[in-house]
Amino acid sequence: MKKISIFFLIILFFIGCSSVKMIDGTSIEDTTENRDIISFMNKYNENLISKNSDALFAMASKDYYDNGGTATTSKDDFAYTQLKELLNSRFEKVAEIQQTIKITRVLKVEKQIFVDYEYNAKFRIQNEWTPKKDINQMVLVKTADGYQIIKGM
């Protein structure tokens, strides 16, 4: 009986020692890199809300490519060279944007960082608000200056 109690105490000790600290309000491990990624994503959201296409374009990698969520090559695919024009045309139609984001996962695979997030947005076109709530994934790469977006803007 004593051996079993000691065994469970040892297991509880190791479980307690192996606990990973998470960033408050998330299930993301609290590391400097993850905090930097969340900060980058918050800056992205600020630029989106302020409809700052220049700042958003500066956050994009020259390797940026997005298939618009479809598997086939179609009119919704766009690359870095088309990004600024696309952002400007979308922002021209919208009078105001309100949006919050919640990062749900950060996954590093080789040189790419996959950031899953939920967003809750409202877009005002003329005097009418349109709500939109969804999930998205942005793919980042680390650079000497921070991060750049290669997909998912």
Residue 91 lies in a domain: yes
What is the percent of the chain with per-residue pLDDT over 90, rounded to a whole number?
Answer: 73
Q: Is residue 76 situated within a structural domain?
A: yes
Q: Does 10 reside within a domain?
A: no
Q: Residue 119's domain spans which residues? A: 29-151
CATH number, domain containing residue 143: 3.10.450.50
29-87: per-residue pLDDT in tens? 999 999 999 999 999 999 999 999 999 999 999 999 987 655 666 666 789 999 999 99
- Burial pattern 128-152, b for ≥16 Cβ within 10 A else e, equals eeeeeeeeeebbbeeeeeebbbbbb
- Give the three-state DSSP class for 153: coil
Q: Is residue 142 part of a domain?
A: yes
pLDDT: which is higher, 100 or 17: 100
19 in any annotated domain:
no
| 3-class secondary-structure state, position 147 | strand
Q: How many domains does the chain have?
A: 1
- Which residues make beta-bridge pairs with 112? 109, 141
Structure confidence by residue, pLDDT tens digits, 124-134: 999 999 999 99
Q: What is the pLDDT of residue 9?
A: 52
List of long-range contacts for 120-126, beta carbons under 8 Å, 24+ apart: 121/97, 122/97, 122/98, 123/94, 123/96, 123/97, 124/94, 124/95, 124/96, 124/97, 125/93, 125/94, 125/95, 126/95
pLDDT of 42: 97
